Chains A and B, each alone.
Chain A
Amino acid sequence: MTEILWHGRGGQGAFTAARLLGDAYSLKDNAYALAFPSFGPERRGAPIRAFTKLDKKPIGNRSEITRSNYSIFLDDTLFNEKSFRELKQNGIILLNTKKTFDDPRVITLDGDSIAERILGLPITNTILLGAFAAVSREITLEDINKAIRQTMPRRLHEKNIAAVKAAFEEVVA
């Protein structure tokens, strides 16, 4: 099972990304996913977590992820040394930041710049999803595009599909 832990602040769309990932992954036959937020009251700006589990068989364990294969941060103020304790062995951190880190476990992306250029808004959830596709190869861009078309409001489709592609290409480069 591949377990993905999403970190964001209320309003940044971390759970939407967690759900899009599960949706995209499970488009294939015999592919299963669970996606859920950290449960409780929702507040704009407060740290939230969201979870995606991916597997080739039905997933019985609905508990929160405590150790992840990938931890994805939409907001670098939520990232610190403790974040590594939540990683499995060979786990990877995918971080939206303008800073650079000299650590092989950390992959960075300036998602805010892509968001500003393509979306005109500081929302990086689908951008980090595109970056995840590039890093993990668990899902294809086509699958993400299908999930976006299935679940997001129509007016957001093309911009987000373009943002996902830009992020994917930047990480691959």
Chain B
Amino acid sequence: MAKQFLSGNEAFAYGVRLARPQVISAYPITPQTIVVEKLSEFVEDGSLNAEFIHVESEHSALSCAMGASSVGARAFTATSSQGLLYMAECLPYAAGGRFPIVMMNANRSTALPWNIYGDQRDSISQLDSGWIQAYACNAQEALDLALMSFYIAEHKDVSTPFMANLDGFVLTHTYEVVDVPTAEQADAFLPKYQTENKMDLQKPRNLAFSAGPDTNTYFKYREHLGILNASKIIDEAEERFAKIFGRRYTGLTESYRTEDADYILFTLGSLSGLVREVVDELRKEGSRVGLLRLRYLRPFPNEEIAATVKNAKAVAVLEKDISFGNEGTVYTNVNSALQKAKLRIPSSDYIGGLGGRNISKEEIKIIFDELEQQQSTVKFLGIGGETNGN
């Protein structure tokens, strides 16, 4: 392994190169552009033997990736924000076709008002599209996810496309130390993609077909089981990864100082680094606080959440997302997990970081302060905006 000083985008591109995709189809968009640039350079200089298809739109990017996947090729694409929304029609198509495409999404706000900075409203709006969704917290995890995503998506028990999310700018454009594995290590980890779900002259079969009212539910049920199975395969991939690379990940969630915590804050992505620091500071002052980072939103970590918070007095979610007319979607999902586990714990939602707005240490301390009042509220962070009083 070699220590390098890379941005999140560069780290992810290095990870994709190690995974040896056969087809890359992508359209550049800020803040994802550097991934596409790097990969096209790798193809140009011969260090990656892939077909690089420079398409005319994101809709075509994912359509191309589906075409490649339907003949059994390992396919990769990347996008962000408006680009993700433009390819939205193809997202459930790829999932329903059980094409295990990997896509990197640089999390960015959606228009209007026009904004190129980071929040997570783009990917969270697509939670129901049938894709696995992971959120990296630093450049090392981004590289490692790039490798693991192919293993998980392509596993025969999963056969589900994989969206790896990196916070726009604060992760995609920030440089930090990354261990870049060797090609030999990566090859030992990731087997070649093999599937029966492909067009093959020797074994003709029907792909991407219609299914009417009588059979449709069976296909959707199978799709649901596939993404649920990912939970087990993520553990398997991480176990295998730890053996080869020596870095261990923790499945759908990562908990930090939650064992005896009274108050637990949930968040996702690169923001968790800052919350960790605040947890350490408050712990020094004697507060029993902890952090639960949601590494995956699909499959959703229902059991992990219930097991982590069962003795907590109150929990809160800090998310860069709002489902207008209701609340943050991560909060809705967390509450459902608590309800199913019969846990009656006060829970609050803090909507912050929209359009790239900075979230400060002080604001996170205020959230922990307010948690001790054990209320259930939904608030917009930093502007004093409370949305309901229930």
Among A35, A36, A60, A64: residue with most chain B CB under 10 A = A60
Taking chain B's interface residues, is the majority helix, strand, or loop, or is none over half, making it mixed? mixed
CB neighbours (8 Å) of A151 from chain B are 5
Q: Known: A23-B5, A63-B358. Contact between A33 and B176, CB under 8 A? A: yes
B369 located at the interface, meaning its Cβ lies under 8 Å from any Cβ of chain A in the complex: no
Q: Known: A61-B274, A63-B360. Contact between A33 and B173, CB under 8 A? A: no
The distance in angstroms between the C-alpha atoms of A39 and B272, with both chains bound, is 20
Q: Known: A62-B170, A63-B358, A64-B358. Contact between A36 and B175, CB under 8 A? A: yes
A34 located at the interface, meaning its Cβ lies under 8 Å from any Cβ of chain B in the complex: yes
CB neighbours (8 Å) of B361 from chain A are 61
Q: Nearest residue in A to B177 (C-beta to C-beta)?
A: A26
A84 located at the interface, meaning its Cβ lies under 8 Å from any Cβ of chain B in the complex: no
With contacts defined as CB atoms under 8 Å apart, how many contacts are there between chain A and chain B in the complex? 66
CB 8 Å contact bits of A134-173 with B (1 = contact, 0 = none): 0000000000000100110000000000000000000000
The reply to whether A62 and B273 form a contact with Cβ atoms under 8 Å apart is yes
CB neighbours (8 Å) of B175 from chain A are 19, 22-23, 33-36
A10 located at the interface, meaning its Cβ lies under 8 Å from any Cβ of chain B in the complex: no
Minimum Cβ distance to chain A for residue B208 (Å): 40
The distance in angstroms between the C-alpha atoms of A31 and B31, with both chains bound, is 28
The distance in angstroms between the C-alpha atoms of A147 and B5, with both chains bound, is 9
The reply to whether A60 and B5 form a contact with Cβ atoms under 8 Å apart is no
Q: Known: A60-B273, A62-B270, A63-B358. Contact between A36 and B5, CB under 8 A? A: no
Q: Known: A60-B277, A61-B274, A62-B274. Contact between A19 and B5, CB under 8 A? A: yes
- The size bracket of the interface on B is 20 to 34
The reply to whether B174 and A62 form a contact with Cβ atoms under 8 Å apart is yes
CB neighbours (8 Å) of B117 from chain A are 39
The distance in angstroms between the C-alpha atoms of A40 and B361, with both chains bound, is 23
A37 located at the interface, meaning its Cβ lies under 8 Å from any Cβ of chain B in the complex: yes
CB neighbours (8 Å) of B177 from chain A are 26, 32-33
CB neighbours (8 Å) of A32 from chain B are 176-177
A121 located at the interface, meaning its Cβ lies under 8 Å from any Cβ of chain B in the complex: no
Q: Nearest residue in B to A31 (C-beta to C-beta)?
A: B177
Q: Known: A19-B5, A60-B276, A62-B270. Contact between A36 and B174, CB under 8 A? A: yes
A59 located at the interface, meaning its Cβ lies under 8 Å from any Cβ of chain B in the complex: yes
The distance in angstroms between the C-alpha atoms of A58 and B176, with both chains bound, is 10
CB 8 Å contact bits of B358-371 with A (1 = contact, 0 = none): 11110000000000
The reply to whether A34 and B176 form a contact with Cβ atoms under 8 Å apart is yes
The reply to whether A39 and B173 form a contact with Cβ atoms under 8 Å apart is yes
Q: Nearest residue in A to B30 (C-beta to C-beta)?
A: A41
The distance in angstroms between the C-alpha atoms of A23 and B173, with both chains bound, is 15
The distance in angstroms between the C-alpha atoms of A61 and B362, with both chains bound, is 12
CB neighbours (8 Å) of B274 from chain A are 60-63
B interface residues, Cβ below 8 angstroms from A: 3-5, 31, 116-117, 138, 169-171, 173-177, 270, 272-277, 356, 358-361
Give me 23 A-to-B residue pairs in the complex whose CB atoms sit less than 8 angstroms apart, sorted by A's number. A19-B5, A19-B175, A26-B177, A32-B176, A32-B177, A33-B175, A34-B176, A36-B174, A39-B117, A58-B273, A59-B273, A60-B272, A60-B273, A60-B275, A60-B276, A61-B274, A61-B361, A62-B270, A63-B274, A63-B360, A64-B358, A150-B5, A151-B5
A interface residues, Cβ below 8 angstroms from B: 19, 22-23, 26-27, 32-37, 39-40, 58-64, 147, 150-151
Known: A33-B176, A39-B31. 15 other contacts (CB 8 A): A22-B5, A33-B5, A33-B177, A35-B5, A36-B173, A39-B117, A39-B173, A60-B275, A61-B274, A62-B170, A62-B174, A62-B273, A62-B274, A147-B5, A151-B5
**9 closest pairs, A vs B, by CB?**
A60-B273, A23-B5, A36-B174, A35-B175, A39-B169, A26-B177, A60-B277, A62-B170, A61-B274
